[in-house]
Structure 1
Amino acid sequence: MTHQPGTEPYDVVVVGGSGVDTVVRVPTLPVPAADSVPVPPVVEYAGHTGTGVALGCAALGLRTGFLDFIGDDPQGSLIRERLAGTGVDFRPLISPHGTRRSVNLVAPDGRRTSLHDARDPLDLRMPPEHYLPALRRARHVHLSITHFTRFLYDDIAALGLPVSTDLHDWDGLTCHHKEFAFRSDLVFLSTAGAGERIGAVMREILREGRASAVIATAGAGGAYLLGAEDRSPRHVPAAVPPGPVVDSNGAGDAFTSGFLHGHLAGLEFGECARRGALAGAHACVAHGTHTAPLDAAALAAWAGGEPRAGAADTVPA
């Protein structure tokens, strides 16, 4: 069933990337080779990248729409329940293939390994009559890298809308990510996939695509920002978390929402990245996935008290 959007404008429309995370707290990563490893209670959360960006943007006061496929299953119901009352205007379609899932193994220091079940078939498509009414009222679109979202780029371009995406741990080589990398105005990724080649990957995105900025997050190492006028990526120091780090699930999505909040307010990229770092640090002190996104008042108070991000350090070539 297709839901018909109303007439309200959106600051951000997030497309794709909902799912459920089953979080298993393990004594160490990698998990010991054993027939059985005792763990604390296993918990399920509405998670995945699109959910995190949508919740983060809404918590920061942005008018947020969220379009995706979910299953007619308990996991789909969990996502609906989590998004209800958050300010996210969630408009899902039912997929016969079920709701995406991940099993996330989380170590005591907050590091995690995610086992991802994407489950969408390659021929899954979102009907234009479902997404076009929402896009026509959007200031900005954020596409998760689920396969069906790549088919929205032509309509987004025809509407003249800016678009962002998160490539996650892209190594700079896998073909699936390239269209997202080269057709987006803001490109987020982590340093995990490319390693020491991350600087070259960032420059390739800027050179071959349409991006005005590429942002690579590095966990506790902060992030790196490369704009069109930069000769090399600028280092953005990590923010000091406001408490003990217990879970890094969703920190990258929180970073993205903090950055987009600053960008839509007209702030320069360095300040946007600093706000992203604050939102990402905040996410690491809460158990679970997307359970306590940073709100606008807390971000404003924290941003006013933190030193500004430096610009001296660079990433490897």
Structure 2
Amino acid sequence: MSTRTDVLVLGGAGVDTIVHVPELPLPYADSYMIDSGIRTRAGQTGDFVALGLSALGLRTHHLDLLGEDPEGDLVRALHEERGIALTAIPQPAGTKRAVNLVGPDGRRLSLYDTSRARAADRFPEPLVRSLAAASRHVHVTITQPCAHALPVLRETGVPLSTDLHDWDGENPYHEPFALAADIVFLSATALSDPERTVRRIAERGRARVVVATAGADGAYLLADGELTRIPAAPPPGPVVDSNGAGDAFAAAFLFGRLTGRPAARCAWYGAVAGAYACTVPATRTAAIGRDELLGARVDDPGGAALAGHQVLRRAGHGPPPA
């Protein structure tokens, strides 16, 4: 079958209800007055990755389970509006949803409704095989039931990526994804030793590239055995919400990968896109465009390439070399 899609995104479709709160953690009170309003919009991890890829000009197809409900209608409308192909498998339990509490500094606390999934949920194997075979790359979210599709995806030979989000390095749920993917993204938030975790992923699984994002501290990039510290990119405006920053990072990294850039440049693209995402209010869905991404130029205040705990080389000014 000829390739018609650059990236197939598997899973992660849903809606978020956004509540801006005065602080996080939120102290107990009988009630809070939310002057900014409480808004529900389409967009969870798979939606944001698909949106980011499409905004960068990559042909994107999204596959997930959706309910015949108002939340599912919002997801369908988002994809139609942005011109992103969507294949929706009926989900009797309903469309995935979450409530995001967003603090004044842009940090968030997400409350996921796990009732909208069933242990027996599966993607039809022939459909997964067909869509993957028509794609250059598959990005697999860690939402149910994507783990069950991993063996079929691996049989196709199409390169895989995944995002483990705030994995602590131990939770067994994430391991099948970590070990099956060729490119692994995760947040360093819950990691006491990010270097140890990224190296363990590479040693135990298939990944040639592992990236642990660390917010304002940049990211750790492990590529072909060399660990590099990628500096954070300054946001192009005020930071209002960190929701979707990791998804934006992954989308921009994959854009770099699929357009032939070296790993350090891909990670720099991810840093730029992640910083941009932090300037987008949680009530909106927007992604950096190709011209903005390729035109980003800032000074690197002192990134360094690491192996073990030893500095191998010190970066000069500017983003990682192309």
Q: TM-score, normalised by structure 1?
A: 0.92
Counterpart of 2:279, as a letter, is V
Counterpart of 1:126, as a letter, is F
Q: Where do 1:104-115 residues align within 5 Å?
A: 104-115=100-111
Partner of 1:81: 77
Partner of 1:58: 54
Is the 2:39–2:283 contact (alpha carbons within 8 Å) kept by the matching residues of 1? no
Choose from 1, 10, 17 the match for 1:15. 10
> Does residue 302 of structure 2 align to residue 306 of structure 1?
no
Q: After superposition, give the CA deviation of every residue in 1:148-167 in whole Å (9 maximum; x if it has no partner).
A: 11122222222111000000
Counterpart of 1:44, as a letter, is T
Give secondary structure in 1 for the equivalent of 2:145.
helix
Distance across 2 between alignment mates of 1:266 and 1:182: 24
Partner of 1:260: 254
Q: After superposition, give the CA deviation of every residue in 1:102-136 in whole Å (9 maximum; x if it has no partner).
A: 11000111011111123311110011233222111
Counterpart of 1:278, as a letter, is V
Is the 2:19–2:99 contact (alpha carbons within 8 Å) kept by the matching residues of 1? yes
> Does residue 180 of structure 2 align to residue 187 of structure 1?
no
Once the two structures are TM-superposed, the CA of residue 87 in structure 1 deviates from its matched residue by: 2.9
Once the two structures are TM-superposed, the CA of residue 313 in structure 1 deviates from its matched residue by: 6.1
Give secondary structure in 1 for the equivalent of 2:167.
coil
Q: After superposition, give the CA deviation of every residue in 1:179-224 in whole Å (9 maximum; x if it has no partner).
A: 1001100000001122x22221111101000000110111122111
Distance across 2 between alignment mates of 1:290 and 1:212: 34
Is the 2:3–2:136 contact (alpha carbons within 8 Å) kept by the matching residues of 1? no
Distance across 1 between alignment mates of 2:70 and 2:233: 36
Counterpart of 1:198, as a letter, is P
Is the 2:16–2:42 contact (alpha carbons within 8 Å) kept by the matching residues of 1? yes
Partner of 1:155: 152
> Does residue 234 of structure 2 align to residue 240 of structure 1?
yes
Q: After superposition, give the CA deviation of every residue in 1:7-54 in whole Å (9 maximum; x if it has no partner).
A: 771110000001101010000000021111222200112121100100
> Does residue 209 of structure 2 align to residue 213 of structure 1?
yes
Once the two structures are TM-superposed, the CA of residue 289 in structure 1 deviates from its matched residue by: 5.7
Is the 2:3–2:135 contact (alpha carbons within 8 Å) kept by the matching residues of 1? no
Give secondary structure in 2 for the equivalent of 1:165.
strand
Distance across 2 between alignment mates of 1:7 and 1:77: 31
Choose from 196, 202, 220 the match for 2:198. 202
Mind listing any 5+ residue stretches in structure 1 that lack a counterpart? 1-5
Is the 1:197–1:316 contact (alpha carbons within 8 Å) kept by the matching residues of 2? no
Partner of 2:123: 126
Partner of 2:243: 249
Once the two structures are TM-superposed, the CA of residue 316 in structure 1 deviates from its matched residue by: 7.7
Partner of 1:169: 166
Change (3 A) 1:227 1:82: same
Once the two structures are TM-superposed, the CA of residue 290 in structure 1 deviates from its matched residue by: 6.0
Distance across 2 between alignment mates of 1:219 and 1:238: 7
Choose from 122, 132, 136 the match for 2:133. 136
Counterpart of 1:188, as a letter, is F
Distance across 2 between alignment mates of 1:24 and 1:182: 35
Is the 1:64–1:87 contact (alpha carbons within 8 Å) kept by the matching residues of 2? no
Aligned length: 307
Partner of 2:224: 228
Q: After superposition, give the CA deviation of every residue in 1:39-96 in whole Å (9 maximum; x if it has no partner).
A: 2200112121100100000000000000000111000001111111313111111100
Mind listing any 5+ residue stretches in structure 2 that lack a counterpart? 311-322
Once the two structures are TM-superposed, the CA of residue 234 in structure 1 deviates from its matched residue by: 1.8
Change (3 A) 1:286 1:316: farther
